[in-house]
Structure 1
């Protein structure tokens, strides 16, 4: 068959059209495949992103819980510290009170006094006017307590608020225990204050001397009183 020019042109047009259709189909298939892959990746990315958001929210919650726990711990430590301080103060107060009431030993500075009967008694005088009586000792005790004495002992026996000092013949009875002269009195407290109080003009020491009592006294840097 003889082909003319029209047939050649028509054939060329059909070839080009077919080529364009094939290329267009391949191009369309490529973009469809690309869109499908992109959707899968987007879904996966969205899933991971959502997980990350959830983890960040959970992390913030845990961090807040940690901060709350730290705050509670700080409050507990503060309360414990206050309770510990209160307990320490209570123990110290208890020990101080126990020392004052004689349940524990007590020590500190203070003064020492010795009261003795007069050695020389004129024959025409009454001997009772030359010996130590309970009111002499009570006079000293009252003055010491007024001057701030923290603890007092007579011949080593602690004196308390309810103690009794009485004369029993030639001896002094302290809470039922008898002691002969000399009567040694120790007092714990500010030694200067105690001494100044006793040695005031026309004070306790002068009164004792006027009553013919032999008095010795001195300051002490350290006095230890054992509990009775």
Structure 2
């Protein structure tokens, strides 16, 4: 074999070997591609699963926070309701104590001295006293009056009545005399029915017959009563 022929054979062998390596690399690359795709798919699946787990955990946290918010809102609403109830109670107590002005339907009772007795030299036969006023006030409160004023002076649960014939002293205020106007705000029909009841105010009814004591009742759709004014507490000095 000549040297030239040997060189040709060697060259062919080298080319064949190189071609084989190239073909082997291509075949290997083609064989690895599906495996890589599977790996990428599996990685994506794991990522999706991790995201779903994270989202599920976030949803649980959000649900827990919503539960806490609902609980706090319910607690705040309960406190608000309790606060409003207390405010309403305070308002009712203030109104009952006469500390605030009130208005609404009610009645006005007018009390006046009895007529003169013919043989008494023109003198009045009967003078209104504090017990007459107190009887009417007590009756009106018993019939649900929300507020009462006597001659525009507000009456409270602690109001004291005193005086002598012809004079009515409320608390420590100045003496009041006939005519006496008693205004009451509340259930108008109920108070009117009680005042018209012949069995109520028996003493006043008797004096109406005996001494022509004057008592009239007038209903009103809207009366206004002032609040109690403590500045009116002027010490009353009885005559010596």
TM-score w.r.t. length of structure 2:
0.75
Aligned mates of 1:99, 1:60 — CA distance in 2? 58
Q: Displacement, 1:188? A: 1.6
1:99 Cα shift? Answer: 1.2
Shift of 1:160: 1.9
Q: CA, structure 1 residues 139+211, in 2 after alignment: closer, same or farther (shift >3 Å)? A: farther
C-alpha contact (below 8 Å) 1:116/1:132 kept by paired residues: yes
Distance verdict in 2 for CA 1:203–1:49, change over 3 Å: closer
> Does structure 2 conserve the Cα–Cα contact (< 8 Å) formed by 1:129 and 1:211?
no
Matching residue of 1:189? 186
**Aligned partners of 2:199, 2:80: CA distance in 1, in Å?**
51
Q: Deviations over 1:120-167 (max 9, x none)?
A: 233448968511112111221222222222221111111122211112
| Corresponding residue for residue 216 of structure 1 | 216
1:87-112 per-residue CA deviation (whole Å, 9 max, x = no partner) reads 22322222122111122111121111
Aligned ranges for residues 195-206 of structure 1 at < 5 Å? 195-204=192-201, 206=205
**Partner secondary structure for residue 103 of structure 1:** coil
1:172-220, Cα deviation, whole Å (9 max, x unpaired):
1000112121111011221111111111124326234135221121111
SS at 1:130 equivalent:
coil
SS of the residue 1:108 aligns to: strand
Range 148-157 or range 37-46, more displaced: 37-46
More strand by share: 1
How far residue 58 of structure 1 moved from its aligned partner, in angstroms, is: 0.4
Map 1:151-162 to 2 at 5 A.
151-162=147-158
Alignment correspondent of 1:57: 53
Q: 2: distance between equivalents of 1:68 and 1:51? A: 26
* Residues 202/74 of structure 1: CA separation in 2 closer, same or farther (3 Å cut): closer
Query: Taking structure 1 as the reference length, what is the TM-score of the superposition?
Result: 0.78
Segments of 5+ residues of structure 1 without an aligned counterpart are 1-20
- Say which one has the larger Rg: 1
CA distance in structure 2 between the aligned counterparts of 1:125 and 1:139, rounded to whole angstroms: 30
**What residue number does 1:179 align with?**
176
Partner of 2:85: 89
1: CA distance, partners of 2:207 / 2:68 = 67
Unaligned runs of 5+ in 2: 1-16, 229-240
Does 2:111 correspond to 1:115? Answer: yes
- The answer to whether the 8 A contact 2:128-2:165 is kept is no
Q: What corresponds to 2:227 in structure 1? A: 227
Aligned length: 210
